[in-house]
Structure 1
Amino acid sequence: MQKIVIVGAGIASLTAAEALRQNGFEGKITILGEENTLPYQRPPLSKAYLTSDELPSPTPIRSPNFFRDNNIEFEQGCEVTALDRTAKQVVIQGGRKVQYDILILATGARPRPIDLPGENSKNVFYLRNFDHSAALRNALSAPEHKKVAILGAGVIGLEVASAANLLGKQVSVFEASSRAMCRVASPLTTNFVTNRMALDGVSFCFNACVNQILSEEDRVSGIRLSDGTTKPADVVVIGIGAVPNAELAQDANLSCDGGILVDSNMCSSDPDIFAIGDCAKAVNLSTNTPIRIETIHNAMLQAQIAAAHICGKPSPPISPPRFWSDLNGMKVQCVGIATGYDRIQQRPTENDNAREFWLFSGDRMIAAETVNLPTRQSKLSEALSER
């Protein structure tokens, strides 16, 4: 084993490269990134970047010295178009081929597209990369853009709603489900958060089906709901989930099902190909079912597991999934996976602006959620790990 190639340039790929060196791998490591920039932090894209007074630059995950110091070859602007498993090569757009002994796919995910009339109108945005964030920031900074409609009340939708609200915009969030963040948090947490956001002026419309994006002269002017109601909007943001970038794996006949299927060591159906991060679907100990988890914590942990297995070293300790979000001055944090619970217990807090909820399946605590208790997440993660 002389050469490891990592496709993708996010936190998963950099963590994997670093962990490979820490575990003693001395061969060649090559990271192939599609964007023409150093790997950068993505959480600020839906938060601080949108409200910055000046257009920020991408915040690198690691300094350029990281690659030199760890003897890692990083190639930017490299779109991988195919995998040749027989020849053990990846094909880069233009035809160049890169040989590998071990391949790690860290290709991430992309915004789930919406299929509506008017979706291509000007000032309709998705949010995944820095260019998306810069374009949305530019639209939000325009004084004439007063009304913002957000389709989807997931984490990204609420973060953009929070940023637009902070900028003084009239923000309306439209969600097909009965509540916000229904895939990642319990009703007690999401209702507390949306009620506080509503007090700050964010309007929520649940059980809402949008069937058209309205426009005038190719510029968005509003949305139409399935009941015929129209809502004016100068900016529309679509945040209805993400799709794993699994096409390379699918075309190479790797096992996929809503993501690249991997075992507990992050190994795909090809023993020389691993998948980590947002593109990977692995059995999680919290659910005992294959699941795709789109968090930084998950991406880093899976990268460390894959690197340890490749180097023949013990896997790092498994810790429960976790995520965090900043919403209208609230720090929302969750540990574990909020599914399969049959009881929620509210824990006492010292002030009315904070909340702590424990989620149980029978007598076993399977998740915990906090609002404005930033020091509790690590302790709750330890508690869950012991159960």
Structure 2
Amino acid sequence: MQLLMSLMLLLVVSSCEDQVETTYTYQTQVPVFLQVNSFREADIIIEPGKPLDNPGKIYIYGDYLFISEPGEGIHILDNSNPSSPRNLNFINIPGTGDMAINNNILYADNYVDLLAFDISDPQDIEMVKREEDVFPNLYTNEETGTIVTYKDTLITSTDPNMMWSSWGRPAFRSDFMAMESMAAYSGGSKSGGGQSYGQGGSMARFTLLGGHLYTVDDYDLRIFSVEEPTDPKYLKNINLGWGIETIFPFKGKLFIGSMTGMHIYDASNPSEPQKMAVYEHVTSCDPVVVNDDYAFVTLRSGALCRMGADELHVLDIKDLYNPQLIKSYPMENPHGLGLSGNYLYLAEGEHGLKSFNVADVMEISNNQIEHLKDYASIDIIPGPKSLIVIGPDGVCQFDYSDPEKLKELSCISVSFR
């Protein structure tokens, strides 16, 4: 009898355990169908400065810091004092992801269009040009005039198929790639040919060189003439294959990162860039920065990155037609990176921010300087006044005048943390 009662109690307990459910509230993205005419006819509104919600890309131009909100718009901050950046205003640009600035003209995508804004006076911004249908994508239906975009949405669920993203936020498996893809969208530019360019990060998809704007999407390099800055003109596109992610300019060359390798293009004739070489690697996400002799490429694993490697590759590019891998270093989950002289700053995702002395490229692992684990990071810009780091928690700036010891100057946190 005692044995029977014990068995019955065990069954009751097991039954109770089987019925336990866990409820999650999480942010994901749901599809939204838009008519092309609806966003073209809507006013681009310049709003007062507001808190960060979901930072995507960073860009600097003069004393100003630009921070994009994927799909929403661009924050403009007065960064003349990096210890106390001042929020000026917000350009409401639905469907935006990337930006670049040439001679006080800001270029940004608006779904399938390219917009140009005069930001000579950041307090009085004016849109000066819309170049239509220059960013076609897989989610455009030309017959019906509709596009598919995605909207961040809070959902409460007990679905057992839910998983945790790399930032510790829950998501459905089917939505994981969409959340990770925000990190893959941000270009480094300096100046040239009478133009005055800003500076973007290593994960940029827009960049400027030789009076031309270059953009990349999953498959193509697109070329625009911006020799007349207020009147950008689409010229052509060059198919690069698949998995194209980032673009970085250096001394008349374009270094294009993809999930399968790094493309090098000669842009000495800026309207007709010519392929010089392709360095191939295992399938991973792949931003790149370069100096005169070497390219530093991070390979990253993850759902969007086909579960590739987590490594830093160093390539000898003295012969740009024949780049050679000379050393690879294991990393944790490297994202963007920035190079300043002999110092490399590397965003390790949720694992923090690392810095290295890379004077000896064969001994980088033995020359790590710092690992700031509390700063989850996606991309980095070594700017003239500060080292700017963007991550899921916001944007932080550091004094790096002493590269051996970073000193935090300020942090702009996202509004919901």
TM-score between both structures, scaled by the size of structure 1: 0.30
| Higher fraction of helix | 1
Task: Between the two structures, name the one with larger relative contact order (CA 8 Å, sep ≥ 6).
Answer: 1
| Higher fraction of strand | 2
| Bigger Rg over Cα | 2
